[in-house]
Amino acid sequence: MMEQIPVEQSLLLAALLFGIGLVGVLIRKNMILMMMSVEIMLNAAGMAFIIAGSRWAQPDGQVMFIFILTMAAAEVAVGLALILKLFHLQKSIDADEMTQMNDITEASESN
Amino acid sequence: MNNLITSGELLQLLPFITMLAGPVLMIFLISIRRNHTFTWILTLLSFALTLAFAVYLMDKEPYVSPLLTIDRFSLLYTGMFASAGFLVTLLAKRYLDNLSERREEFYLLLLFATLGSSLMVSSNGFASLFLSLELLGISLYALISYIHRSGKAIEAGLKYLILAALSSAVLIFGVALVYYETGGLSYSSIGTYLSQHTFSPLLVAGIGMIIAGAGFKLSLVPFHWWTSDVYQGSNAPVTAFIATVSKGGMVGALIRFFTMIHGTEYQQVVLVLTILAAASMLIGNILAVRQNNLKRLLAYSSIAHLGYLMISLIAFGDGGTQAATFYLYAYFATTLGAFGVISILSDSQGEAEELEKYKGLFWKKPVLAAFLALIMFSLAGIPLTAGFAGKFFVALSGVKADLWLLLIFLAVNSVIGVYYYLRVVVMMFSAPKEKTPASDNSSTFSAGYIVLGLLAIIIIYLGISPNGILSLIGSAVILP
């Protein structure tokens, strides 16, 4: 019998992955990399579900993981289409250049 | 145990089946032959049938399964979303007529998004809530960017996509933590666990993350950053849809969740919700004062309005849920009306969003201006309008629950609100700067005016005699 990995440690790993993804979304400027970071966060949540499911010996955790996987795929499909469209329009997928809309102070300066 | 759906259950699911059958039929039609008007009529028919079935099922047996609970409460919300979807469809046709091709998918996405929102309210567990939330979310990403004259709509869609995906990741991680602690995904099992155990740190983190994810959808401060850009970037009918149906779905889901877990009995939850509500009211209103763009103004004002609504959510047991639902009705009618006016005034050159465009509107288009003034009065909460009645019931539930701090916030912020809403009204009645030739006779659009007329009747009716709707809402009990 192999030695069991404590549940707390695997949950910590999921939390760590989630944190890496969150930091990625916040500091990245490339839209594709931002989407990848969101995917990491979603998969961290999926992992947490599998850990929780194994703790309670229920299939629910794995079912939720499949749901998350499916939904993430759909999201990426729409997201990549939008990013392509943005690239056609602006020749850039830099998040910092998405500044067509702003609050009043900046808008009045540009006018 | 029998897992097959019986014909009786099929009947109970009819409101949702119609919303699903419409898009499926459209997919087939699109692949054979595209016809804009026919698709449009089919969409209207789907929404009307959904509303009819929802009303019909009100007095029938509720449907309860491990994933969905279709009771009077969820039917009430489904009916509300279907009506809103109906009105948005009426407003959107003129926009789509300007597109040269692929107009039909818009309606498909609209129906799917409404279905997602309705299912959110009917979900009795996090598995179904997550699926319906994403059905709504993914349809919305595409809807926001669907009609793009400039890069604005694409930019708005991408901003919404990244932030919404981020918020669902936060929400679902929170759910995972709650599941890890409680061993159940349904609201009732979580509620049972909470009543027997104390809060562990993981559970606090989990519920906090769920509230954060929900707060994003409701654009509560500090999760409101996307709101103004998305409101401005998408076209007026889509904005109306985001402001009403997508937020309403989350409000309904939150009401059900908190009812099942008795959320407001826990001090920590109440504290977090109080902070969110107070911050949303204050910051939403302060940011709205500075706006010169009507869409952005409405975006910030919607943040404040969701803050008002949160008061009744916190005041839960004391008629709070009824007040929240009533407030939602008033908010739906006024918001749809406001964006209806914007979409009627918009032409192929662009959206009528700058406040400058509304200067002297009364002398050019008196009917529209009078209607927009009614909307602004309702948003400001002037008596005899729906907004006043809504605010009154919210305040009443707050008084019963002794939420004095929040009520002071409500009063102060209503005053700030009156300032910037009336600024719009004053602007419309002031004399126009220069005589612009009345070129836009083409925008006399009958369907839009029908929508506005209907909404005006609803707003005044809700303001004068709210009792009819209130008794309907009062009878909509949430089943365990």
Question: B202 falls in which pLDDT band (50, 70, 90)?
Answer: very high
Share of chain B above pLDDT 90, in %: 70
Q: Which residues contact A73 (CB under 8 A, 6 or more apart)?
A: none
Do A101 and B155 make contact, defined as CB atoms within 8 angstroms? Answer: yes
Do A74 and B138 make contact, defined as CB atoms within 8 angstroms? Answer: yes
Residue of A nearest to B151 (CA): A89
Please count the other Cβ atoms lying within 10 Å of the Cβ belonging to residue B205.
16
Q: Nearest Cβ partner of A104 from B127, B176, B290?
A: B290
Query: A1 vs B241, which has greater pLDDT?
Result: B241
Q: Mean pLDDT across the stretch B55-68?
A: 90
Whether residue A2 has pLDDT greater than 70: no
Beta bridge partners of B70: B63
A7-110 carries CATH number 1.10.287.3510:
yes
Whether residue B28 has pLDDT greater than 50: yes
* Amino acid A69: pLDDT: 95
Whether residue B440 has pLDDT greater than 80: no
Interface membership of B145 toward A (CB under 8 Å): yes
User: How far is residue B7 from each of residues B4, B13, B375, measured CA to CA in Å?
Assistant: 10, 10, 44
Interface membership of B281 toward A (CB under 8 Å): no
* Amino acid B18: pLDDT: 95
Average pLDDT along chain B: 90
Q: Residues 70-99, chain A: which have Cβ within 8 Å of B? A: 71, 74-75, 78-79, 82-83, 85-86, 89-90, 95, 98
Q: Mean pLDDT across the stretch B147-157?
A: 86
| HSE-CB for B197 with a 13 A CA cutoff | 16
Residue of A nearest to B162 (CA): A35
Beta bridge partners of A30: A94
Q: Mean pLDDT across the stretch B32-53?
A: 94
* Amino acid A42: pLDDT: 96
- Distance, in Å, from the CA atom of B175 to the CA atom of B326, rounded to the nearest integer, reads 29
Whether residue B443 has pLDDT greater than 60: no
> Helices in B381-403 by DSSP H: which ranges?
386-400
- Distance, in Å, from the CA atom of B131 to the CA atom of A1, rounded to the nearest integer, reads 38
Contacts of residue A22 in chain B, CB cutoff 8 Å?
166
Q: Where are the domains of chain B?
A: 18-433+443-474
Interface membership of B371 toward A (CB under 8 Å): no
Interface membership of B180 toward A (CB under 8 Å): yes
Q: Mean pLDDT across the stretch A58-70?
A: 94
Q: Which of A27-36, B230-239, B350-359 has the lowest mean pLDDT?
A: B350-359
Query: B348 vs B16, which has greater pLDDT?
Result: B16
* Amino acid B232: pLDDT: 92
Q: Which residues contact B191 (CB under 8 A, 6 or more apart)?
A: B260, B261, B262
Contact B396, B319 (CB under 8 A): yes
pTM: 0.94
B354-364 pLDDT, tens digit per residue, is 888 888 888 88
The counts of H helices and E strands in chain A are 4, 0
Q: Nearest Cβ partner of B161 from A53, A78, A108?
A: A78
Contact B105, B146 (CB under 8 A): yes
Beta bridge partners of B63: B70
Share of chain B above pLDDT 70, in %: 96
Whether residue A105 has pLDDT greater than 60: no
A83-104 pLDDT, tens digit per residue, is 999 999 888 888 888 878 877 5
- Distance, in Å, from the CA atom of B433 to the CA atom of A29, rounded to the nearest integer, reads 43
Whether residue B306 has pLDDT greater than 80: yes
* Amino acid A23: pLDDT: 96
Place of tokens 């959110």: B120
Q: Mean pLDDT across the stretch B338-352?
A: 86
B72-101 pLDDT, tens digit per residue, is 999 999 999 999 999 999 999 888 887 777
ipTM above 0.90, yes or no: yes
Place of tokens 């500091």: A27
Structural element, H or E, at residue B70: strand B69-70
* Amino acid B94: pLDDT: 85
Q: Nearest Cβ partner of A67 from B131, B142, B293?
A: B131
